[in-house]
Structure 1
Amino acid sequence: MDGLVHIYTGNGKGKTTAAVGLGIRAAGSGMKVLMIQFCKGGSTCEELVIAQLKPAFELLKDKKISKFTWQMTEEEHKQMRENTLNLFNLAISSANNKDMIILDEIMAAISAGFIDEKLVFDFVKNKPSHLELVMTGRNAPEKLVELADYVSEINAVKHPMTKGIDARKGIEF
């Protein structure tokens, strides 16, 4: 089976949730899944479930992130670029040994300048033929959209945040 390329983009809630759901489906069918989260710090509830699915479904992220990108110093931005590149290189080196790789918030990493769009484009274009590749994040670059087989745009029509309702454990994180 040839692997295809998926993108979940848009300004709505649910891009990561959709990718996690697809990863769980893949792991449940015997596939080996690696999810790498970019630009996300702290822990989320889905990590607890994914940890129970090891070794079929593994999650890696930069655990040193403690601020939003606009709150970071130039030195912290430099460290983020280095950490992002290291995580991305891990995805590349794992590509032959996994059936699915999820690059969660890779579009945010591109937008923030933590990784060069060309590196991501080259990986997508030259990925192993068996690999199912899933990418998430707002503002997917048009070049990546053109390469993808699936593109789902998730747009916010309504969101509780506009009413002042904070993120809730188990729902937003």
Structure 2
Amino acid sequence: MREKSRVLIFTGDGKGKTTAALGMALRATGHGLRTLILQFIKANPSTGELIALQHLPGVEIIQMGRGFTPPAKDPAFSEHRKSAQDALQTALKALQSKRYDLIILDEICTAVDKRLLDEDQVLEFINQGNENSCIVLTGRGATDRLISMADTVTKMCCLKHGLQEGWPAQKGVEY
């Protein structure tokens, strides 16, 4: 029997990382499982997926991000870093509570890549998982160490995107 959480990563430069994780939340809800979605970077509560997920039983969404991450030399960077650190502590409390079957850490890979979180902190968090939970990490720039400790890793790549062709971001498609 496994003693640690199952770990999945959705990473890469293509679209669909958060969408794939939210699909897992939908599937888990269909089986009566409890899901926590913790967003490390995003700060917009009015996206279509978040509005819809608020109506699903057993799904809790917490946005702790501050939006676009400034360069490390920007004075606001420390505020973003503190928000990410607080989000990781919230995730740890949730994991230790054993209240959730699925914990989605949205854009945590990006938080590590942008130095808002230390990679070792995230690895330590994952090592505290238990056999009854599944942890999903999303975001660009998943590190080699995160990838090697995960059970399943999917890399999203963009072959073509409508935004590059001049299409504006569309409600119901991009947000």
TM-score (normalised: structure 2): 0.90
2:22 to 20, 23, 47: 20
Q: Distance in 2 between matches of 1:138 and 1:62?
A: 18
Deviation at 1:130, TM superposition (A): 1.4
- 1:82 is matched by which residue type in structure 2? K
Deviation at 1:88, TM superposition (A): 1.0
- The SS at the match of 1:47 is helix
Distance change >3 Å, CA 73–CA 45, structure 1 → 2: farther
- The SS at the match of 1:74 is coil
Q: Number of aligned residue pairs: give it.
A: 170
Unaligned runs of 5+ in 2: none
CA shift digits 1:127-152 (9 cap, x unpaired):
12211000101111110111111111
> What does 1:98-113 correspond to in 2, within 5 Å?
98-113=100-115
- 1:118 is matched by which residue type in structure 2? D
- The SS at the match of 2:153 is strand
Unaligned runs of 5+ in 1: none
Which residue is 1:47 aligned to? 50
Using the aligned pairs only, state the percent identity.
35
Which residue is 2:69 aligned to? 69
Q: Distance in 1 between matches of 2:75 and 2:150?
A: 34
1:130 to 129, 132, 135: 132
TM-score (normalised: structure 1): 0.91
Q: Which runs of 4+ in 1 moved over 4 A?
A: none
Deviation at 1:104, TM superposition (A): 0.5
Deviation at 1:69, TM superposition (A): 1.7
> What does 1:1-173 correspond to in 2, within 5 Å?
3-42=5-44, 43-54=46-57, 56-62=58-64, 65-66=66-67, 68-70=68-70, 74-95=74-95, 96-173=98-175
Deviation at 1:71, TM superposition (A): 7.0
